[in-house]
A and B are shown apart, each in its own frame.
Chain A
Amino acid sequence: MKRSQHRRVKEQQRRILDEPARRRRQRKALEALEQDNFQDDPHADLKMSKKAPKFEESIEIGNIVSSAKKKKKNRTEYFKYRLKKSFAALIEEEQMLSADPPNYFSASTPPSKLPERHFCAVCCFLNISTFPSSYICVSCGSRYCSVKCLGTHQDTSVKCLRTHQDTRFVSHSLAHYYSVKCL
């Protein structure tokens, strides 16, 4: 009786991601692969003091130099303004122009004809014995290959948190192996 109660509680606490949520996650994961940087700009908090002399600028000789410089600077500003287009904006523009087929969109490749291969999300090994289908995490739909890896997955994924104190599947060495150290 106690046991079934426990199970019921566990089922209720477990949040199961629906299909759109899973797709959203997938898209985010793909976007992360395109990121330039993971960390924030290390110089973001730098404050440039206006009073500090700038040594590279020579003392101006007459007005001609300064006006030429100003003109040049204006041009650069103009370019900055004119050319400020994000990739998304460029794609949109291209769609609007809708040139005839040989274009950016026609060059993309359709999904592969070969069947998808499924890797364990934790240890990355193909589960060869059960290939092509391995197990799926009930909450988020990630693949895993063994109870051991499911344990690690639940320990490390925010959404798939374990609901009870069951760590017996995770051996100590593995837990150590996956512990996140900082460089």
Chain B
Amino acid sequence: MVVIILDNGAGTAKVGYSSDKQPRVIPNCVTKAKNVRTRIFIGDQIDECKDLSGLYYLLPFQKGYLVNWEVEKQVWDHMFGKDMLQVDFNEASIIMTEPYFNFRSIQEAMNEILFEEYQFKSVLRTNASYLSQYKKNKDDSQNPLCSLVLDSGYSFSHIVPYFKGKKLAEAIKRVHVGGKLLTNHLKEVISYRQLMVMDETYVINQLKEDVCYVSTQFMKDMEIARMKGPENTVMRDYILPDYTHIKRGYVRPIEETTGKAQGNEQIIRMNNERFAIPELLFHPSDVGIHEMGIAEALMLSVESTSKEMQPHLLGNILLTGGNCILPGFEERFYMDVRSMAPTEFDISMTLPKNPVTYAWEGGVQLANDKDFEKLVVTREQFEEYGHNICLEKFDV
């Protein structure tokens, strides 16, 4: 059987056949380039664009939920079409992920598009964390009963507890800090202090991925960042791309860091920005978002489950989503959770090799599960029973 797994994130879509080793990670958006006026770039077509300055984004998601279907349809058409997967819809099933507490009208629209517009043979809609914890439990020899998934993505971060493969909906917690907010905040900070980069989402996102890290000793790092000269070990020079000679931005080696530009290049001096930006994940109140940080939210989520479950949840925490790649993330998250959790509980965290594609990989394993057929809704069933059967069958 042919199964397509589509982890449809707001930032990137992870897509591929269940027979593939790795998914294709493509930007889930349509982009317009300032200097290319003859065409638009759909999804990963942006790789064909040579000048990536001043990119204009059309995003299908708003605050984590699918609202702009026109854009999404373009991306999907490109994804399933002849340029990429060349899907034979009549023969193919699809595993599709969606956000937590997805709105009813979005779900219905999704059903209609998948069954009526594309005419997939069968569909399974689920959450990304379901696939992650499924994979974790399959790979784990001890076969734990509970797992707690942190899913920190583009629009927001969620804490999702699972018990025997069922999510505990009442204990799900959401923090409105994600990769998009971090990049936007970094853009603002740099534009205020150094260089006007408000238009350069793409470049600054790369900058964030290249030099930002999560501090494990925030106050100490702040002190170091205040120092001048070689004592300041935080400071880095980032050379911006000009898309003629320099195709991609890069960090200058520490030995050569002077804070001064050489020749014609443009640089951004990254000092306390390097760790003060990702810090928002742990302290959203730093920019006036009146919410808990992810570690505190995790404890809140754990506390709202039953007493017996709590040690098991804390003993099996899984970190997924792009923000977990930030250096120091796991260490800091562990430190914060450890300091808040009761001392008698052991805390164990797992950071997969690739936290971005982990859910997709879980989808591959699920597609090869002997019970997979029982989880899906076929097109005939949908034609017979409509949206209700999807409501009954899918745990989303």
Contact = CB atoms under 8 A, between A and B. Distances in A.
A41 B56 contact: yes
A128 B219 contact: yes
Q: Taking chain A's interface residues, is the majority helix, strand, or loop, or is none over half, making it mixed?
A: loop
Contacts of A35: 184
A109 B283 contact: no
A43 B101 contact: no
Contacts of A101: 170
A65 interface: no
Interface residues of B, number: 78
Contact of A34 (B32, B63, B104, B169): B63
B225 interface: yes
B236 to A, nearest CB: 16
Contacts of B292: 109-113
Contacts of B222: 125-126, 128
A38 B290 contact: no
A183 B201 CA distance: 13
A32 B188 CA distance: 9
A6 B32 CA distance: 53
Contact of B63 (A26, A87, A111): A87
A90 interface: yes
Interface stretch (B129-137, B190-198, B376-384): B190-198
Interface residues on A, range: 35 or more
A3 interface: no
A183 B266 contact: yes
28 contacts: A26-B288, A30-B289, A35-B184, A38-B187, A42-B54, A42-B56, A43-B37, A75-B117, A80-B69, A93-B105, A102-B169, A104-B101, A107-B100, A107-B172, A108-B174, A109-B174, A109-B292, A112-B285, A112-B296, A113-B296, A116-B285, A124-B193, A124-B273, A126-B222, A178-B194, A180-B195, A183-B53, A183-B240
Contact of B173 (A75, A107, A123): A107
